[in-house]
Every structure is written in C-alpha cells, then in structure tokens.
Chain A
Amino acid sequence: MGLTALLTLINSLTPTIGTVIMLVKNANGTTDVTMILDSAEAGFTDNLKQAQDWLSTHQKKTTP
C-alpha cells in the first residue's frame, strides 16, 4: 500500500475513529456531560412551569 493510499484511508476513517473512541468512552461508564445537562435543563424547565402554574392558579387571597 502506497503512502497516498494510506493517507487517504486515514483521512476517510478519522471521523469514524473519533466517533468510536467517544462511544467506547461512554460504554466504559462515563456519561457525556451534555447528556446530563440536557436532562437538568429539561427537568428545571418542566419544574419551573409546574411551580409557576400552581402559584398562578392558587393566588393569595387579599382582604378588601
């Protein structure tokens, strides 16, 4: 195999290798921080809406 062919092969495989390395890391038990933050952001957003909805439908009764 010539050097050019080898380089072409590396060029075409590089993104795949990177993806595989990332998958192996995650399979090893490390969770990608983005996934955790996605979960946190979605949870806080839902919770905030839930709490605000409750407060808006249970407003403090003011005496005239």
Chain B
Amino acid sequence: MSEQPGRDRHQRQTLILLIVSLVAILTAVGISILFATQFDRIVFLHFPLGFYILAQGVLIVMVAIAFWAANAQEHIDNTLAESEED
C-alpha cells in the first residue's frame, strides 16, 4: 500500500489522460492518412474530403483535444489538492 494514495491516484489519472489524448490524436491522424485517397472521392464544402480532413479537420480535432486535456488535467490537479486538504 502506498503512503500517499491521493498522489498515486493523481499520477495514474495523469497517465491515463496522456494516453487517451495521444491515442485520440494518433488515431485521427492515422485514419486520415490511411483512408485519404478513399475519402477524396467524397466532396465536402467543395473540398475532396481526404484533403479537407488533413488540411483542417484533424487540426480542429487536435486543438479541441489540447484544450480538453488542459481542462481535464486542471480538474485532476484540483481534485488532488482538495483531497489533501480534507
């Protein structure tokens, strides 16, 4: 048993957040590259879809993940601080 369960939980949640964020980004990029030529057969906003996804779609997803991860990590940090105060 660890002497600091609050800190261990914090480390675990931080690691999970990191893995989830990285997997989400890599999945988005990977799928976009892998199926780019197939997506290109579909037209979206006058763009070939594969082109649009890599030019803008994945960027939007990545930035959304960046802000979400920053907020989620702040929540995790606040939870640790509150649990230690209790």
- Do the two shown chains form a genuine complex with each other? no
Residues of A within 8 A of B (CB): none
